[in-house]
Structures are given as C-alpha cells and as structure tokens.
Amino acid sequence: MMDSVKNASENISRRLSRTWDHISDGWRELVHHGSDALTHFVHRKGEEDKGQEAAASTPAFPRWSILAGDMEETDREIVVRIEVPGMEKKDFEISIEGKTLSLRGEKRFERDTNDSKYHVMERAYGVFQRTLPLPVEVNEDKAEADYKNGVLTVRLPKLNVEKRRFISIS
C-alpha cells in the first residue's frame, strides 16, 4: 500500500514538473517574441469617469495588449505591418524621428447597449504608443501608410540607396 501511494505521488510530481516546464517554455517564448509588441493603453480622464459610472455592467478594461507586427527589409524599403483591428484611419498618428518609427493611436470603446453584462473583456482600449527601431535611415518625406482589414502598413523608402554595380574581372 505504501509503495503504491509513493508511486502515485512520484507520478503526480513528474506530471506537475512537466506541466510547469511547458508553462515556463510558453512564457519565455511569449516574453522573447512578444515583449516589444506588448503595448500599454492609457485611458483619458473623462473616459475613466464614465467607466466608473458604468462599472456595474462593464468590467475593468485591460491596460496591456499585444500589437503584433512585422518589419521587412528589401533592397529599396522597410515595410512595417502592425495588427490594430477595430480602429479607423483617423485614429492613428505615425511619425519618424531618426531611426525610430512611432505609432500613436486611440482605440475607443463603443457599446451598442447599456443593458447587457460582460463576462469576458480581453481587448484593451485607450491611448497607446508603439515605437519600433528601424535598421537603417529612411526617407520620411516619401513614406506611405495604408490601413486595410485591421492591418496598418507603413512603407519607408531607404535613404541613400545606391544601385549595386557589378565589376567585371579582367
């Protein structure tokens, strides 16, 4: 009887250890790949007051969210794509300073009715800023941005792009 209890205890201990290892691996992966994408959302003064009035039917908004993105480099340009669903073009402000791209915006909470009750609220709302270091200097005068299907695409032509010249060997 004692051996079976000991074996069961060791088996549970091994399973818990494996589970913890999987959780730890997942957390490290999230932090490694998503830490730059983790973005803080701040509520405006008036928004906080409205939120307190409706606190009974609306849970507290998350203050952090992931704005996942990609940065791609070609011979001529840097292309940045960031997922920001649920916004309008007018809600964004994009700027470039040196080798840094900054995206500011506001994701507004809109509610169709006040007679409902939320059970899950995982999307963050409010004012946010995301900065991305650029690998090269870009020509901000010729930069272009497009917002389609919840993805903001910013095209940044490289500065001082020289054509590659091949030299023949004699």
Q: What is the pTM of this model?
A: 0.67
Who has greater pLDDT, 133 or 19?
133
pLDDT per residue as tens digits for the range 119-165: 888 888 889 999 999 999 999 999 999 999 999 999 999 987 766 66
Instruction: Give me the phi and psi of 81, to 5 degrees please.
Output: -125, 130
Note whether 119 and 82 are within 8 A (CB). Answer: no
Note whether 67 and 81 are within 8 A (CB). Answer: no
Residue 139: name the closest of 161, 110, 162, 115 by CA: 161
